[in-house]
Structure 1
Amino acid sequence: MGPVNWFAFVAAAPDLARTVEERFGAFTHHVLSTLRKDGSPRTSGMEVRFLNGELWLAMMPDSLKALDLRRDPRLALQANPGAGTGMGGGDVRISGRAHEVEDPETKAAYVQKVEPPEPFHLFRTELTEVVRTYVEDDTYLVVEIWKPGEPVRTVRRR
């Protein structure tokens, strides 16, 4: 199965999806990784929005991260771990692809909900993997992995 939108992820793994949304909702800024022209990684600060069954990324005009995604849609997104060492809810990462949305109606609906500074690039994401890593009972490192078409797989390590 290929990449899916946020709605499909929520339907397939509702508990993990709820945790992921909570982790991203805990802070405003997160880390987006894109690929530069030469294939090396670029990391950038990023705000994300979960609206109408989609995970949205909005960016300033001609920002390097937007140009990267136009050229190569692959991305990784990591939730802000927060201050200090206590990552309540765990470390959360999303891998996937971003597709620019230029439809005026879709962008207008986004503006009504979010009110970003205009003009802007708007990208809709498709997920290829979601991973949550956390410590359980101060004993186990737990990794939850979800991929489209598969159930959540949980690995516990001592």
Structure 2
Amino acid sequence: MNPTGTVRDTRHPVAVATWEEFAADEPEFAALVQRCLDRSITKIVATLRADGSPRVSGFDAVVSDGQLAFGSMPHARKGADLRRDPRFALHCAPADQSDGSLGDGDVKVSGRAVPTGDLTGETEGDGFRADITEVVWTGLNDARDRLVVRWWRPGEEVRRIERE
């Protein structure tokens, strides 16, 4: 059994999982979420400012070596936010909504950012990986006449609801 559901941060005692653990627990759902992440043009991350108010920023996130990884440019405020309070929420909008549809759906990932060190090479900055607390996918059913919400938390099965 993998360690999904392990509490890694005693300051914020919530069950967390790596991307690899998420994919092992729910491979079909993880594959859908990764397709959405891979095809998304725009990803937005929400962090918390020092005064507790939210900050949103565009950024790039990738699944690599079993981790959901992302970075922050040198001296960027989102990196400072994440070092001070690691909680974040990522939103990945559908790639093309020009026809009024939700396309393949949108994705939200919440969790804790774990510093991985300095990024070097083409892009410099601060590297992070995600300890995931929740993954949500929202899209349309096969008949495209109802909204579907699917969500997963470490140690739980994927839940699903449909709405008109």
Range class of TM-score, shorter chain: 0.7 to 0.9
- Structure 1 runs of 4+ aligned residues shifted over 3 Å read none
CA distance in 2 between partners of 1:117 and 1:135 (Å): 37
Where does the alignment leave 5 or more consecutive residues of structure 1 unmatched? Answer: none
Alignment equivalent of 1:121, drawn from 113, 126, 137? 126
User: Counterpart of 1:36?
Assistant: 49
User: Counterpart of 2:149?
Assistant: 143
Q: What letter corresponds to residue 37 of structure 1 in structure 2?
A: A
- Whether the 8 Å CA contact 1:59–1:121 is kept in 2: the answer is yes
Q: What letter corresponds to residue 93 of structure 1 in structure 2?
A: K
1:100 and 2:115 equivalent?
yes
* 1:38, distance to aligned residue in structure 2 (A): 1.1
Where does the alignment leave 5 or more consecutive residues of structure 2 unmatched? Answer: 6-14
Higher RCO (CA < 8 A, seq sep 6+): 1
CA distance in 2 between partners of 1:81 and 1:68 (Å): 26
How far does the alpha carbon of each residue in 1:3-45 deviate from its partner, in whole angstroms, 9 at most, with x for none? 0100000011111111111111113431001011111111100
SS class of match (2:75)? coil
CA distance in 2 between partners of 1:91 and 1:29 (Å): 11
User: Counterpart of 2:32?
Assistant: 19
Alignment equivalent of 1:153, drawn from 153, 156, 159? 159
Structure 2 length-normalised TM = 0.84
* 1:101, distance to aligned residue in structure 2 (A): 1.2
- Whether the 8 Å CA contact 2:108–2:136 is kept in 1: the answer is yes
The RMSD of aligned alpha carbons is: 1.6
Aligned residues: percent identity? 39
User: Counterpart of 2:66?
Assistant: 53
Structure 1 13/116 Cα, relative in aligned 2: closer, same or farther at 3 Å?
farther
Identify the structure with the greater helix proportion. Answer: 1
Q: What letter corresponds to residue 158 of structure 2 in structure 1?
A: V
Structure 1 82/145 Cα, relative in aligned 2: closer, same or farther at 3 Å?
same
